């Protein structure tokens, strides 16, 4: 991307005792883009997020938000950040509106008009004057999103934002978050262990393992054109497919072949002409879970707050 990133993580490192927890992390986050943050248990996700919001001091490196260092210009830079951690704390005996009014007083210059704007943005106009105690978890999460947006941040961090939500609540939250990212031009950073949700929500994925950033991928690039072909004898089929020049991987009873759809009929013809019997030819779409396990060598995806 040619545009200037809103958030820059630069050579971020954290050593505790003799153990290097985070090792020279570099990552840029851009406006309107949702980036997922994945890693096995103990990979360093929570430590990274704590350093990004100034709750933990890095051993070396820095995080800049809209050009301001989180270490040198903490108060000014943190004003540009909105945070939702798992299930936001709310005053249940107060209405949603009064909760937002209360939180708005923690920032300078938030007018009533701004509260009305965020209420509309997260689709809560009809319920905002009811007590938070009567809200579903999904409604509370949307109120948490409204709260995080009150001061019009440039950067939004979400740590396990859909924990405990039912499928309808997750879908709803995803819809509003994507809307906020595009309408407000916010850079969004989401840490979650729900891989299927990250896949639907994010534009790209950053994967951390043992404190190192091991991969950054656009979600669209995760689904390269692959086909599953099952043919026998397997040795003959493999010889023919690799002879054509396709990257081939053994999978279940057959092979995964990296190729575009227009090349499949020709490959099938060559297999038949070579005397192979074909039992299956179908498009293969690897899930993010498959890819994550491949990237991390089978590491378990992190549950919330394990680091």
State the DSSP H helix or E strand holding residue 88, giving kind and residue range, or none if neither. none
Cβ–Cβ contacts within 10 Å for residue 59, how many? 14
Q: Which domains does the chain have, with CATH numbers?
A: 7-80+153-221 (3.40.50.300), 224-285 (3.30.70.120)
Its pTM stands at 0.75
Q: What's the CA gap between 275 and 186, in Å, rounded? A: 57
Full pLDDT tens readout for the chain, 307 residues: 458 899 999 999 999 998 899 999 999 999 999 999 988 878 888 899 999 988 899 999 999 999 999 999 998 999 999 988 766 678 899 999 999 999 888 888 888 899 999 999 888 999 999 999 999 888 888 899 999 999 989 999 998 888 778 888 888 888 888 988 998 899 999 988 777 778 888 899 898 888 999 888 887 776 667 788 888 998 888 888 888 888 888 888 888 887 777 888 888 888 899 998 999 888 876 666 666 666 666 655 444 333 4
Scanning 28-94, the segments in alpha helix (DSSP H) are 45-52, 74-78
Model pLDDT, residue 239:
87
Q: Give strand pairing partners of 91.
A: none
* Cα atoms in the Cβ-side hemisphere of radius 13 Å centred on 3: 11
């Amino acid at each position: 991307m040619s545009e200037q990133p809103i958030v820059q993580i630069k050579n971020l490192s954290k050593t505790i005792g003799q153990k290097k927890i985070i090792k020279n992390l570099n990552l840029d986050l851009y406006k309107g883009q949702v980036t997922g943050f994945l890693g096995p248990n103990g990979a360093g996700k929570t430590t990274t997020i704590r350093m990004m919001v100034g709750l933990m001091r890095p051993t070396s490196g820095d995080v800049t938000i809209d050009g301001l260092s989180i270490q040198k210009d903490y108060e000014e830079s943190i004003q540009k950040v909105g945070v939702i951690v798992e299930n936001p704390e709310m005053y249940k005996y107060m209405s949603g509106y009064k909760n937002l009014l209360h939180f708005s007083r923690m920032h300078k210059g938030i007018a009533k008009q701004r509260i009305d704007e965020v209420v509309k943005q997260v689709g809560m106009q009809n319920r905002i004057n009811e007590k938070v105690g009567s809200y579903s978890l999904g409604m509370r999460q949307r109120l948490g999103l409204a709260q995080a947006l009150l001061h019009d941040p440039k950067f939004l961090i979400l740590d396990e934002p859909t924990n405990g939500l039912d499928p309808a609540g997750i879908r709803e939250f995803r819809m509003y978050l994507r809307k906020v990212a595009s309408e407000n031009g916010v850079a969004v950073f989401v840490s979650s262990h729900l891989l299927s949700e990250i896949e639907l929500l994010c534009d790209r994925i950053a994967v951390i393992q043992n404190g190192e950033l091991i991969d950054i991928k656009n979600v669209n690039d995760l689904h390269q054109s692959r086909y599953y072909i099952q043919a026998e004898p397997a040795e003959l089929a493999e010889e023919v497919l690799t002879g054509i020049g396709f990257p081939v991987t053994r999978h279940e009873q057959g092979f995964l072949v990296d190729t575009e759809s227009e090349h499949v009929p020709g490959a099938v013809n060559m297999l038949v002409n070579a005397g192979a019997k074909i039992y299956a030819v179908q498009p293969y779409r690897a899930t993010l879970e498959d890819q994550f396990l491949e990237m991390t060598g089978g590491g378990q995806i992190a549950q919330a707050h394990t680091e």
